């Protein structure tokens, strides 16, 4: 136990502030956090749905919870059920085999809900486009509030997109 605690102590806090175009970064995050709380009455919860990605977007969504970005430390967390979610974060050029599952997840998410399309595939179909096997952009299947392009988008882009979606919904 002692070596473990020593390791934690030695690692220290790695979390970085999020750069933002307007004003001081930390104050901006705090302000957004307050805004999220005011809008939703609680912390933001996200259900991530992979509707046909290559898994690269998922790797970057994972990275959001590493100590450098520490999304959960800002009250934004990923949940297992769409019924517990305020936001759907959808990746992939929606495959026909996932089309139904995505619709069901969308219907299970309580209103008011936000849908964010992640990655070039989610935004416009990406390299896979529309075909016999794919529906293309997420907005071809469910309504989308915000798009975060990139192949894959960086964790920073994801973070800024998630915050922008909340701000936009006001």
Partner 1 sequence: MFLCDDTSIEFTPQPGIGAPVWRGRAPSGEDLRSFAAAVHLAGGRIAAIWGSDSRQSGGGFRLHCVFGIDQGHAWLSLDLPADDPVYPDLSGIFPAANRMQRATRDMVGIASEGGDQRPWLRHGGWPADWYPLRHDSVREAGMGEGFPNAPTDYEFVQVGGEGAHEIPVGPIHAGIIEPGHFRFSVVGERVLRLEERLGYQHKGVEKLFIGADIARGAQLVGRVSGDSTCAYAWAYADAIEAACGVTAPPRAQMLRALLLERERVANHIGDLGALGNDAAFAFGLTQFFALKEQWVRLNQQLFGHRFLMDRIVPGGVVVDVDAAGLSAIVEQCTAIGAELAKLRILYDEHSGLQDRFVTTGIIDAALARELSMSGMAARATGILLDGRVHRQGYTPPPPYATLGVRPATDERGDVAARVAVRFDEAFESLRLLRQMAVGMPAGDTRVDVAPVPGAAGLGVVEGWRGEVLVGVQFAEDGSLARVHPHDPSWQAWLALEHAVMKDIVPDFPLINKSFNLSYSGADL
The contact set with partner 1 (CB under 8 A) reads: 3-4, 7-8, 11, 14, 48-63, 65-68, 78, 80-81, 92-93, 95-101, 105, 126-136, 140, 151-152, 154
Q: Quick one: 110 or 168, whose CB is closer to partner 1?
A: 110
Q: Quick one: 27 or 62, whose CB is closer to partner 1?
A: 62
- Min dist CB 34 to partner 1, Å, is 26
- Rounded Cα gap, residues 57 and 86, in angstroms: 20
Nearest to 51 by CA among 111, 100, 4: 100
Q: Cβ distance 113 to 88 under 8 Å? A: yes
- Min dist CB 31 to partner 1, Å, is 26
Q: Quick one: 73 or 168, whose CB is closer to partner 1?
A: 73
Q: Quick one: 83 or 168, whose CB is closer to partner 1?
A: 83
Q: How many beta carbons lie within 10 A of that of residue 54, not counting itself?
A: 18
- Could you tell me how far CA 32 lies from the centroid of its own chain? 15
Residues 6+ apart with CB under 8 A from 90: 48, 49, 51, 102, 115, 116, 117, 118, 122, 138, 142, 144
- Min dist CB 116 to partner 1, Å, is 14
- Rounded Cα gap, residues 100 and 14, in angstroms: 40
Q: Cβ distance 93 to 59 under 8 Å? A: no
- Min dist CB 56 to partner 1, Å, is 3
Q: Quick one: 8 or 21, whose CB is closer to partner 1?
A: 8
- Min dist CB 2 to partner 1, Å, is 11
CA atoms 69, 62, 40, 167: torsion sign: positive
């Amino acid at each position: 136990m002692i070596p473990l605690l020593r390791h934690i102590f030695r690692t220290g806090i790695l979390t970085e502030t999020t750069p933002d175009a307007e004003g001081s970064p930390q104050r901006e995050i705090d302000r957004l956090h307050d805004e999220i709380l005011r809008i939703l009455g609680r912390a933001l919860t996200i259900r991530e749905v992979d509707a046909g990605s290559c898994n690269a977007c998922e790797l970057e969504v994972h990275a959001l919870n590493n100590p450098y970005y520490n999304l959960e430390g800002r009250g934004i967390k990923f949940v297992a059920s769409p019924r517990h979610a305020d936001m759907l974060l959808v990746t992939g050029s929606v495959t026909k085999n996932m089309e139904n599952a995505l619709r069901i997840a969308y219907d299970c998410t309580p209103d008011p809900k936000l849908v964010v399309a992640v990655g070039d595939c989610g935004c416009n179909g990406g390299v896979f486009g529309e075909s016999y096997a794919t529906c293309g952009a997420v907005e071809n299947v469910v309504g989308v509030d915000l798009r975060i392009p990139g192949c894959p988008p960086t964790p920073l882009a994801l973070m800024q997109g998630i915050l922008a979606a909340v701000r936009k919904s006001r």
